[in-house]
């Protein structure tokens, strides 16, 4: 698998760095690092299915077909990404891989700065998870910015109304968080439930999108305040 990866700097929303991995057909993974350094990155890449990789000299290059919005932001320095480091495993990285990586990093940084709501970068889920999980992950992308749905509602959207628990498991295994916004899925009555990168980050992402979270003695006791404008909305994936 020929991939390229980059690490986004920590931000106010994400205290830890974020690993972004792309392949020739789109983004493969977004992973919130826990401070393990290069060893943690290489371990994650191996688990992703990439062969042990050799890092080339860092390359900074603006892709020719980056979106106009991202290009303007890039020129102004608003979404200049961290240095992407191509990884060869086992062949030189394709131009499309670098292009997807740059676009993913630019869009993620724009999102964290409050300048982007809808991700347009392609994702590559081929061969990942089960067919059921891929249906759930595809449905995640249709949950718009600033809205939430329950696991039961998401199950209904994919035609499996009785599979809320299985949907919850699939959401928890989402390989591309934020871009496929699993943080927008909550329990019944807006209660916060598990998030692979921690409930604190889930709260930060929801508040970043304008949602109100109630106070509570613990994160698990906090809830999303759901108004009619914040529920039952669905958009088509880009």
Q: What pLDDT shows up at residue 221?
A: 62
What's the distance, CA 149 to chain centroid? 17
SS3 26: strand
In eight-state DSSP terms, residue 214 is -
pLDDT of residue 6: 84
Task: For residue 31, give its domain range.
Answer: 4-112
Q: Do residues 106 and 136 both lie within one domain?
A: no
Lowest mean pLDDT among 58-72, 150-164, 197-211: 58-72
Task: Supply the pTM of this predicted model.
Answer: 0.78
Q: In sequence order, which residues have a C-beta less than 8 Å from that of residue 111 and are 6 or more positions away?
A: 117, 119, 178
Quick: pLDDT tens for 205-225: 999 999 888 876 555 567 777
User: 105 and 138 share a domain?
Assistant: no
Alpha carbons within 13 angstroms on the beta-carbon side of residue 150 total: 15
- Tell me the pLDDT of the chain averaged across its residues: 77
Tens digit of each residue's pLDDT (9 = 90 or more) over 34-78: 876 778 888 888 888 765 444 443 333 333 333 444 333 333 333
Active-site residues, by number, are 182
Are 106 and 143 within one domain? no
The answer, yes or no, to whether residue 123 has pLDDT greater than 60, is: yes
4 and 22 in contact (C-beta within 8 Å)? yes
* Residue 237 domain flag: no
More confident residue, 159 or 237: 159
Return the CATH number at 142.
1.10.10.10
Share of the chain above pLDDT 90, in %: 38
Residue 113 or 55, more confident: 113
């Amino acid at each position: 698998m020929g991939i390229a990866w980059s690490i986004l700097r920590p931000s106010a929303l994400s205290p830890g760095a974020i690993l972004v991995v792309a392949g020739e057909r789109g983004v493969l993974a977004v992973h919130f690092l826990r401070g393990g350094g290069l060893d943690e990155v290489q371990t994650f890449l191996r688990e992703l299915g990439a062969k042990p990789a050799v890092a080339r000299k860092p390359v900074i290059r603006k892709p020719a077909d980056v979106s106009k919005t991202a290009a303007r932001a890039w020129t102004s320095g608003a979404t200049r990404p961290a240095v992407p480091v191509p990884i060869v495993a086992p062949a030189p990285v394709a131009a499309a891989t670098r292009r997807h990586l740059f676009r993913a990093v630019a869009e993620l940084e724009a999102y964290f700065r409050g300048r982007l709501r809808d991700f347009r970068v392609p994702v590559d889920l081929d061969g990942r998870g089960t067919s059921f999980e891929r249906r759930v992950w595809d449905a995640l992308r249709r949950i718009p910015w600033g809205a939430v749905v329950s696991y039961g509602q998401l199950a209904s959207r994919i035609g499996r109304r009785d599979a809320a628990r299985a949907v919850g498991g699939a959401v928890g295994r989402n390989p591309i968080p934020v871009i496929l916004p699993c943080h927008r899925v909550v329990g019944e009555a807006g209660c916060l439930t598990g998030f692979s990168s921690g409930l604190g980050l889930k709260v930060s992402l929801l508040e970043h999108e304008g949602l109100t979270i109630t106070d509570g003695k613990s994160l698990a006791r906090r809830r999303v305040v759901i108004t009619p404008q914040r529920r039952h909305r669905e958009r088509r994936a880009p």
